[in-house]
Structure 1
Amino acid sequence: CGSGSPPAGSGFSAGHRSFSSPPASPTKVCVVGGGPAGFYTAQSLLKGSPHIQVDIYERLPVPFGLVRFGVAPDHPEVKNVINTFTQTAQHKRCHFLGNVHVGKDITIQELMQAYHAVVLSYGAEGNRTMGVSGEGLPGVYSAKDFVGWYNGLPCNKELQPDLSHETAVILGQGNVALDVARILLSPLDLLKKTDITQNALETLAASKVQRVLMVGRRGPLQVACTIKVNLPRPRKRLTELIMKTLNEDHRGRQGVKRWGFRFFRSPLEVLPSADGSRASGIRLAVNKLEGVGDAVTAVPTSEVDEIACGMIISSIGYKSLPIDPAVPFDFKRAIVPNNMGRVEETTGLYCSGWVKRGPTGVIATTMNDSFDTARTILQDLESGAINVSVSRPGSSEVVPLLEKRGVRTVSFADWEKINAEETKQGTAVGKPREKLLDVREMLAVAWT
């Protein structure tokens, strides 16, 4: 999977400053974001040099980002990476500081004064919009918010999705869309054994959703819910999956539950109910494909299609948001502009993960990307591009500053109290954990 250590033949010359001679004081690196990108970057930096100390700042009191709040509850094996992240957090040269909203509680400029290098790894918390009329109607949800709701993200706990209609349409055919479809149709007995929130379980128990359609603007060979490498075997398996599931039935207690794909369709308008109070359907353009290979694009024709439905979930992508006015931001691509992880025109500032390259790929993609950024930082330390001749205070200066502003940090040991409480509550009802949904409740447990 790669290593944070610079590879052989990476171009380092004898004239470059070498870490074989330890710096006068530790090299202080700050990572902003406690999700996969942040932890993988920290892991690689710690492995790459014995002189680096890493502080990971996270806005929530709990770590792990999308591993905790994005991975589907019925895929617990994907969350095993938390064990690796825990080892990183418990490393003697690593410190986790939760409950810190960087960009609000403290600025990037203040962090850059306290650290030799700052890495932005805060992910993508925004939603891409459809840009069609009616998308603000009740009954229309973003996949990001829906996933956050059933996975216990505090800001989504009040979502209250309306599942009182038979048909739900998901716009998008990626992995997140598949997760959402599965959660909507899975038997409750299966979900009860996962870490899905109790609130979501109760809502799903009363669900009347019987059919889920996943709509994509292109065709089956471009569908995004599997490996994108255009090789015969994966493509053959994808085709078999599609043919098998186009009209696959899942028999539940309320009858037959169905899901399937609708290809060559793009949203034109969310159709309102007769009284205009909520969504009652969606009008779609029927597309044709132009171009070949990776350059193929979907072009709308004059033909349209309409699907009557009571729920529409937009799963067309997450997007990163600017964190601080001092940080360059490409609003068109929704990333921090960078060159191999180096933020443009800002010495000592780096980025990794989705904010670096956009919200694509799986956890392994983020791992390799984060290792690349760590390697870039190590190269800059070797070359002297990052000045380590002057000691930096790191968290010893930042934490007192935060305290003066009324912000108390959550340590990894504090998080382990939350973890123990969630595990205890989950065990009582036969689940791996019952997540705390309220930040104030998390803090009360952490600081007892």
Structure 2
Amino acid sequence: MALHPAPLKAEAGAEAGSLRAHMGVASCAGSTCHGRSVASGTPVRQDEVLRWQEESSPTGAHSRAWRVIGEPRGQSIARRLGLDSAGVVRECAGCHASRGAEHLADGVDCEACHGNAGAGTGGGWLATHYTVGTSHARNVAQGMTDLTVPRVRAGVCLDCHLSGDGPGQFIAHRIMAGGHPRIAFELDLFSTLQQHHDEDADYVARKGHKTNSLQMWAIGQAEAVSRSLALYMQPAKANDGVFPEFTFYDCHSCHRRIIDSDEANVTAVPNPGRPIHAGMPPWNDENMILLLAAARVAAPGEAATFDARAKAFHRAMGVGRSETVAAAQALRQAAQGLSARFAATPFTREQAFAVIDTIASDAISERFTDYEGSVQSVMALDTLLGGMVNAGMVSAGGAGNLRLQINQAYAAVRDPNGFQPIAFRRALGGAVRSIRSLR
């Protein structure tokens, strides 16, 4: 069993794609392409650049990615990390920009997600993707990243929204200790926030299908588990000097009040999914919990294996490095198997409701002992409900009437320092009971 996996790749052909020229936002911004000021184009909106630059919406977050480095919070983080201007480029540009140091102001641009568009080894898709008779398949063959494939999209997004192998793409604990926001990601929800297109009849004709939000969510959970384990298996990323790399662990296992008196009150709540003693820092298992919930509905035969391997992985960290890597590899194989299984699963209305019920079941909800996993569960409910609306499984009006309960669950995880697991479970249960009423 190999203990040193090969570097991660977001998609097949990524190496060849990297040899194509990066053309930049200006190459997409013509008024006859994606630079219109109103969405009046056919077959695409043609105002995509404007939406990418939207100042008042999360839709514009990618365009602002490099700018935030120069704002007060970004500058204070750089000072705490002891970074000069070259160090900022080295440590931050891997996620906050798409091109070389000479084009940092573009932030995370079109080609960061869609792939380098210029000619090079294997050709390029910029000059032909708008020609008469072209197709999505042809664009992909010429190097465009096929973001309609959930596993491909997850690989692209996770590079920055969890961590990747590229320069400046590993979000270590020291970066968050310097003031960087904690890392939280859910593939379908974040995709929706960044969506610059309409999934209308024309979209279906060109792409072959609409996005299945429920499938996207489930695959995102599987790929996040797989990515975190793959990174941990690399010795250079698993350790920070003599210490473990704490970015892999749950923040609140250490960031709790410390009381040394006889009146010490233990605030940690036992997690049955992590069979470890109280003195061990627990792995951040937010995606493992939600992946298990999805597996119990869509792949019940594999769910027990995944659960057993997850517990074995947690236990192995109390034994030694080689045992932990072996357990991580076995768990990653199970996660990848679930990802492939989900890719062939239609995720029906009944399955969607069953997943929601499973998230709130005693077997799953008792694992929401920590802030990160609880946040992930609320995002899951929001995503699954929104996905059912988009798929016509429930009415928009009925779902809208439940917004109060969803917001109450979000409120229960608004303050990481005031998080209370038992109170959160009550809020989660209330939201799920309300969603169940739509069934």
Higher helix share: 2
Give the TM-score taking structure 2 as reference length: 0.24
Larger Rg: 1
Give the TM-score taking structure 1 as reference length: 0.23
Higher strand share: 1
Higher relative CO (Cα under 8 Å, sequence separation at least 6) belongs to 1
